[in-house]
Structure 1
Amino acid sequence: MIIHIASDEKFINSAYWQFNNIGEKENIFYILVQDVDKKLKHVNIEDGMNLVSLNIRNLKILGKSLDKATLVCFHGLDYYSSIVLNNLPRNQKVLWILFGKEVHNNSHLLNTKKNIGEKTYAKFLSKNILDRLKGKYKDYFRGVYYRIRNKTGSPFYEITKAMKRANYCGILYKEEFQLVKEKLNTKIEYIKFSYYPIEKMIGDINSKISGINILLGNSASTTNNHLEAFDMLKKMNLDGRKIITPLSYGDKNYKNEIEKKGKQILKDKFKPLVNFMPLHKYNAYVQNCSIVIMNHYRQQAVGNVLAMLWMGSKVYLDKRNTLYHYLKRIGVNIYEISKDFIPENKEALNSLTVAQQEHNRACLKEEINKEVLLNDLKIAINSVICR
Structure 2
Amino acid sequence: MMNIHLVQDEKFINGSIETFNYYYAAQNVYFVDIDENNRKLVKESDDVYFIPFQHKTKIKKIISSVYKTDGVINLFIHYMSRKAANLAIDLKDNQLVDYLYWIFYGADLYSYLALEQNYKLYDYNVSGREYFLKDILKRIIGYNNYLLKIARILNYFCFWNYYDYLLFCEFIPTKAKFKLFYYTDIEKIALVDLVNKPTHLNVLVNHSASYTGNHLTILFKLFKIDSKKEIANIVLPLSYGAIKHKNLIIDKANSLFADRTCILDSFLPPQDYFNKINMCQVAIMGHRRQEAAGNISYFLLNGVKVFLREDNNLLKYYKNMGCHIYSFEKDLNTLTDLFPLTMKQKNANRNILQNALSKENRDKMMRTLITDEVN
Q: CA deviation at 1:195?
A: 1.0
Q: CA deviation at 1:291?
A: 0.1
Q: Within the alignment, does 1:84 sit opposite 2:87 as a pair?
A: yes
What's the counterpart of residue 150 of structure 1? Answer: none
Q: CA deviation at 1:241?
A: 1.9
Correspondence 1:357-376 to 2 at 5 A: 357-376=346-365
Q: Residues 186, 322 of structure 1: CA spacing in aligned structure 2 closer, same or farther, 3 A cutoff? A: same
What is the alpha-carbon distance in structure 2 between the residues aligned to residue 169 and residue 41 of structure 1? 28
Q: Residues 138, 188 of structure 1: CA spacing in aligned structure 2 closer, same or farther, 3 A cutoff? A: closer
What is the alpha-carbon distance in structure 1 between the residues aligned to residue 306 and residue 158 of structure 2? 25
What is the alpha-carbon distance in structure 2 between the residues aligned to residue 313 and residue 194 of structure 1? 22
Correspondence 1:133-212 to 2 at 5 A: 136-137=136-137, 140=140, 143=141, 154=143, 156-200=144-188, 202=189, 204-206=190-192, 208=194, 210-211=197-198, 212=201
Q: CA deviation at 1:70?
A: 2.4
Long gaps (5+) in structure 2: none
Correspondence 1:272-311 to 2 at 5 A: 272-277=263-268, 279-311=270-302
**Secondary structure of the structure 1 residue equivalent to 2:92:** coil
Q: Residues 191, 7 of structure 1: CA spacing in aligned structure 2 closer, same or farther, 3 A cutoff? A: same
Contact 1:5 / 1:75 at 8 angstroms: preserved in 2? yes
What's the counterpart of residue 32 of structure 2? Answer: 31
What's the counterpart of residue 256 of structure 2? Answer: 265
- For normalisation by structure 2, the TM-score amounts to 0.87
String of CA shifts for 1:106-126, please: whole Å, max 9, x gaps: 158753551111xx23x4488
What is the alpha-carbon distance in structure 2 between the residues aligned to residue 180 and residue 13 of structure 1? 27
What's the counterpart of residue 237 of structure 2? Answer: 246
Q: Residues 77, 59 of structure 1: CA spacing in aligned structure 2 closer, same or farther, 3 A cutoff? A: farther
**Secondary structure of the structure 2 residue equivalent to 1:382:** coil
What is the alpha-carbon distance in structure 2 between the residues aligned to residue 4 and residue 244 of structure 1? 38
Q: Which AA in structure 1 matches 2:111?
A: N
Q: CA deviation at 1:207?
A: 5.1
**Secondary structure of the structure 1 residue equivalent to 2:37:** coil
Q: Within the alignment, does 1:220 sit opposite 2:209 as a pair?
A: yes
Q: CA deviation at 1:187?
A: 1.3
Contact 2:102 / 2:156 at 8 angstroms: preserved in 1? yes
Contact 1:56 / 1:80 at 8 angstroms: preserved in 2? no
Contact 1:168 / 1:191 at 8 angstroms: preserved in 2? yes
String of CA shifts for 1:18-39, please: whole Å, max 9, x gaps: 2123244612111111x3123x
User: Which is further off, 79-88 or 235-244?
Assistant: 235-244
Q: Which AA in structure 1 matches 2:371?
A: N
Q: Which AA in structure 1 matches 2:203?
A: I
Q: CA deviation at 1:294?
A: 0.4
What's the counterpart of residue 230 of structure 1? Answer: 219
**Secondary structure of the structure 1 residue equivalent to 2:307:** strand
What is the alpha-carbon distance in structure 2 between the residues aligned to residue 191 and residue 314 of structure 1? 30
- For normalisation by structure 1, the TM-score amounts to 0.85
String of CA shifts for 1:287-320, please: whole Å, max 9, x gaps: 1111000011100000000001111100000121
What is the alpha-carbon distance in structure 2 between the residues aligned to residue 30 and residue 316 of structure 1? 38
Contact 1:83 / 1:158 at 8 angstroms: preserved in 2? yes
Contact 2:60 / 2:91 at 8 angstroms: preserved in 1? no
Q: CA deviation at 1:194?
A: 1.0
Q: CA deviation at 1:275?
A: 1.1
What's the counterpart of residue 18 of structure 2? Answer: 17
Q: Within the alignment, does 1:101 sit opposite 2:107 as a pair?
A: yes
**Secondary structure of the structure 1 residue equivalent to 2:251:** helix
Correspondence 1:327-342 to 2 at 5 A: 327-342=318-333
Paired-residue identity, %:
28
Contact 1:5 / 1:32 at 8 angstroms: preserved in 2? yes
Q: Which AA in structure 2 matches 1:295?
A: G
**Secondary structure of the structure 2 residue equivalent to 1:114:** coil
What's the counterpart of residue 49 of structure 2? Answer: 50
Q: Which AA in structure 2 matches 1:37?
A: N
Contact 1:217 / 1:245 at 8 angstroms: preserved in 2? yes
Q: Residues 358, 110 of structure 1: CA spacing in aligned structure 2 closer, same or farther, 3 A cutoff? A: farther
Long gaps (5+) in structure 1: 144-152
**Secondary structure of the structure 2 residue equivalent to 1:210:** coil
What is the alpha-carbon distance in structure 2 between the residues aligned to residue 333 and residue 139 of structure 1? 41
- What is the aligned residue count? 362
User: Which is further off, 176-185 or 42-51?
Assistant: 42-51
Contact 1:63 / 1:88 at 8 angstroms: preserved in 2? no
What is the alpha-carbon distance in structure 2 between the residues aligned to residue 277 and residue 86 of structure 1? 40
String of CA shifts for 1:229-257, please: whole Å, max 9, x gaps: 11111023342521111111121111111
What's the counterpart of residue 147 of structure 1? Answer: none
Q: Within the alignment, does 1:75 sit opposite 2:81 as a pair?
A: no
Contact 2:56 / 2:87 at 8 angstroms: preserved in 1? no
Q: Which AA in structure 2 matches 1:32?
A: D
